[in-house]
Chains A and B, each alone.
Chain A
Amino acid sequence: DQQVKQNSPSLSVQEGRISILNCDYTNSMFDYFLWYKKYPAEGPTFLISISSIKDKNEDGRFTVFLNKSAKHLSLHIVPSQPGDSAVYFCAASGWGSQGNLIFGKGTKLSVKP
Chain B
Amino acid sequence: GAGVSQSPSNKVTEKGKDVELRCDPISGHTALYWYRQSLGQGLEFLIYFQGNSAPDKSGLPSDRFSAERTGGSVSTLTIQRTQQEDSAVYLCASSLAGGPSYNEQFFGPGTRLTVL
Interface on A for B, CB 8 Å cutoff? 4, 6, 32, 34, 36, 41-46, 49, 89, 91, 93-106
Contact = CB atoms under 8 A, between A and B. Distances in A.
A44 B43 contact: yes
Nearest to B93: A43
Interface of B: 4, 31, 33, 35, 40-45, 48, 50, 56, 59, 91, 93, 95, 97-110
A99 B48 contact: yes
A67 B99 CA distance: 24
A49 B95 CA distance: 15
A93 B99 contact: yes
A101 B45 contact: yes
B76 to A, nearest CB: 18
B81 to A, nearest CB: 26
B109 A103 contact: no
B31 A99 contact: yes
Contacts of A91: 43
Contacts of B109: 41-43
Candidate in A4, A96, A98, A106 with the most chain B CB atoms within 10 angstroms: A98
A105 to B, nearest CB: 4
B95 A99 contact: yes
A97 B31 CA distance: 13
Given A44-B107, A99-B31, A104-B42, 15 more contacts: A4-B42, A32-B102, A42-B110, A44-B91, A45-B107, A46-B104, A46-B105, A49-B102, A93-B99, A93-B102, A99-B48, A99-B99, A99-B102, A99-B103, A100-B59
A77 to B, nearest CB: 20
Nearest to B91: A43
Nearest to B105: A101
